[in-house]
Structure 1
Amino acid sequence: MTRSLQLAARSPSFRFHPMCKSLKLVNLCFADDVILFWKGSLAAVSVLKDTLGKFSEASGLSINAKKSQTYFGGVSAADRNVIMQVIQLPEGTFPLHYLGVPMRPMKWKHVDCEIIVQKMRTKLFSWSSKHLSYAGRLLLIHTVLFGLRNYWMNVFILPQSIIKEVEKLCRMFLWGASGTRSKLHLASWQQVCLPKAYGGLGLRDGASWNRALLAKYVWAVTTKQDTLWVKWVQYVYLKGVNFWDYVLKQDSS
């Protein structure tokens, strides 16, 4: 299918999406999921639909209309209606959820991350802290609560309000709580987040750990690792400019 799409992209009627033109990127495949990119024009969508139709005839595989959606950006209402009639797929709205993480073309909003707090509260509600020792609570925070938090921190910079709310829930669970009020803390959160060799419990401060987790992406970009997204950043944003000299634009991802 990828070869068919790349061949179809050579058609004079096809136009690449502006953010994908430099790499001539048409599609991304993730296991059994596919994302297609193209310029929001009738000619481009006609080429893609014809290509997918030929692929379906050859392989017997077809689009699942119940699980597929079309997303638009900067396309007029008139053009959008015409494209929808051709592609015959429902229109999706942002944020787009993939692997449990909401994705949108703009900066993350607080409401996008509230699912983290909700999931943590659900887990805490199912645990009986009365029958757990401090060591048991600490282990659950390390493996479950911080595991959930770190999954998101590996992808985005979380809003400070979400990080503080997560740490508040962890503090209340660690020291115990009566209703909505936390019991007496035996040590400050700053002390708890120190390494064990320095008298702490080995937990990691949210804001600092979030920046540390994302530092690997900076390393990948500066060393120009041979991956598609690094090439995309180099071609679309940096354009030959050194990472440390890059001036962040208002519309940068």
Structure 2
Amino acid sequence: MEFEGLLQPLGISYRVSLYTDDVVTFIRPTVEEIRAAMEVLSIFGEASGLRTNFAKCSTLPIQCNEADLQILQDEQPCQVASFPCTYLGLLLSIFRLKKEDLQPLIDKIGRRLPLWMSHLMTSIGRATMVNAVLSSIPIYLLMAINAPKWVIKGIDKIRRGFLWAGKALVSGGACRVAWARVCSPTEYGGLGFPDLERMGLAEGSTQLRHW
């Protein structure tokens, strides 16, 4: 559409992020571009039978003034929302994520514990659950954002508590081995648990190389 003059360049390398039925598009807040985008979606719906459900869509302004916001409200059927938003299960924002945005991730991990009946598990069983489940849940987030240290510490507190006592929180006296040692490779006397901070750095650098 840029080649036909229907959309003006944005100065970014891509306009669309598409995964199955989840789509993000970037357009300028002008009447012409909004109408062109709506027409494209209409033509796609007619051709494929996959029509856009605008009731489940949102418009998130980036660097828009009052006039731009008025155009968005007048010309497109989506609700005008604000950041952060959720896309493919990830929090996205043009601002630094706040504590209230990230705390639900830690709470989500903690809510998994009561389902496992830890009092029936051996220490080896708890170690397996920590390594296979509790350590896996945050990987998706760590691939996308640079999580603050307090998030890592909050998740580690839950992992540590479940490993030693089968619950989300545990006093330092119940911890038999320092957490850094627990996260060491097995050949060095540890349990091989992922070091979430280092893993996040590694995943982030992988994503940068990919892009």
- Place the TM-score, normalised by the shorter chain, in its bin: 0.7 to 0.9
Output the aligned Cα RMSD. Answer: 2.2
CA distance in 1, matches of 2:168, 2:97: 32
Give the number of aligned pairs: 210
Is 2:89 the partner of 1:100? yes
Answering whether residue 163 of structure 2 is matched by residue 174 of structure 1, we say yes
Q: Is the contact made by 1:129 and 1:137 (CA closer than 8 Å) also made in structure 2?
A: yes
Q: Which of 52, 58, 66 matches 2:41?
A: 52
1:189 is the counterpart of 2:179: yes
Q: Which moved more, 1:122-131 or 1:188-197?
A: 122-131
Give distance in 2, aligned partners of 1:51 and 1:152: 32
Deviation for aligned residue 1:165: 0.9
Output the TM-score relative to the length of structure 1. Answer: 0.74
The offset of 1:72, in angstroms, is 0.8
Change (3 A) 1:196 1:180: closer
Deviation digits for residues 13-35 of structure 1 (CA, Å, limit 9, x no counterpart): 5323x343xx4x43332111222
Q: What is the alpha-carbon distance in structure 2 between the residues aligned to residue 70 and residue 12 of structure 1?
A: 23
**What does residue range 97-136 of structure 1 map to in structure 2 within 5 Å?**
97-136=86-125
Opposite residue 160 of structure 1, the aligned amino acid is: K
Conserved in 1, the CA contact under 8 Å of 2:158 and 2:168? no
Moved more, 99-108 or 131-140: 99-108
Separation of aligned partners in 2, 1:57 and 1:218? 38
Structure 1 segments, 4+ long, off by >6 Å, are none
Q: Give the gaps of 5 or more residues in structure 1.
A: 1-5, 221-229, 231-253
Counterparts in 2 of 1:121 and 1:107: CA distance versus 1, 3 Å: same
Q: CA deviation at 1:177?
A: 6.2
The residue type equivalent to 1:30 in the other structure is Y
Letter in 1 for 2:207: Y
- Residue of structure 1 equivalent to 2:70: 81
C-alpha distance in 2, partners of 1:61/1:212?
38
Letter in 1 for 2:177: A
Q: Does 1:206 align with 2:196?
A: yes
Query: Residues 51, 210 of structure 1: CA spacing in aligned structure 2 closer, same or farther, 3 A cutoff?
Result: closer
Aligned to 1:157: 146
Closer, same or farther: CA 203–53 of 1 in aligned 2, 3 Å: closer
CA separation in 2, counterparts of 1:150 and 1:57? 39
**Matches of 2:143 and 2:193, distance apart in 1:** 17
CA contact (8 A) 2:27 2:33 kept: yes
Given the two structures, how large is their TM-score scaled by the length of structure 2? Answer: 0.88
Aligned equivalents of 1:130, 1:161: Cα separation in 2: 28
Structure 2 runs not aligned, ≥5 long: none
- Contact kept, 8 Å, 2:143 with 2:207, in 1: the verdict is no
Which amino acid in 2 is paired with 1:130?
H
Question: Which residue of 8, 23, 34 maps to 1:15?
Answer: 8
Residues 122-168 of structure 1, C-alpha deviation per residue, up to 9 Å, x if partnerless? 11122222211110000000111001022221222211001001111
Out of 91-100 and 192-201, give the one that drifted further.
91-100
